[in-house]
Amino acid sequence: MRAILKRELVVHELARNARWIEVETAHGRSQALTFYADPVDIDLIDLPMQDQARRLAHANGAAGSGCEYLLRTAQGLEQAGIFDPYIWDLQDLVAAEIDGWAPSSSKTAK
């Protein structure tokens, strides 16, 4: 738990953005620690999912890359029996963005 809190709460002020909530899983109800962005305190923009995917694919910071974080989130949800279509759609778009970086074999073949 200490490692999660250290990773998620990079500044003390974000501690108020962590909450224990009750969730429904394939194994029944359980408590889960959640972290959220408070729209009152943070300037947010409403980006289309494709733009979100592009930014996540390119994002990188001290804790790792945005695409890596998204993948771990999707895998963790799946392991917990939680299916979030938004997360999976976003994951697919990020993967497609990254796949687009590599030159295709038809472009490189002569």
Per residue in 26-54, pLDDT (tens digit) is: 899 999 988 776 666 566 678 999 999 99
Q: Do residue 49 and residue 23 come from a single domain?
A: no
Q: Do residue 51 and residue 97 come from a single domain?
A: yes
Per residue in 62-86, pLDDT (tens digit) is: 778 999 999 999 999 999 888 899 9
Q: Do residue 55 and residue 96 come from a single domain?
A: yes
Q: Do residue 33 and residue 59 come from a single domain?
A: no
> How many structural domains comprise the chain?
2
Examine residue 109 and state whether it is found in any structural domain, yes or no.
Answer: no
- Record the pTM: 0.62
CA distance 64 to 27: 31
Query: CB 60: neighbour CB atoms within 10 A?
Result: 11
**Residue 2 belongs to what domain range?**
1-40
Q: Do residue 64 and residue 21 come from a single domain?
A: no
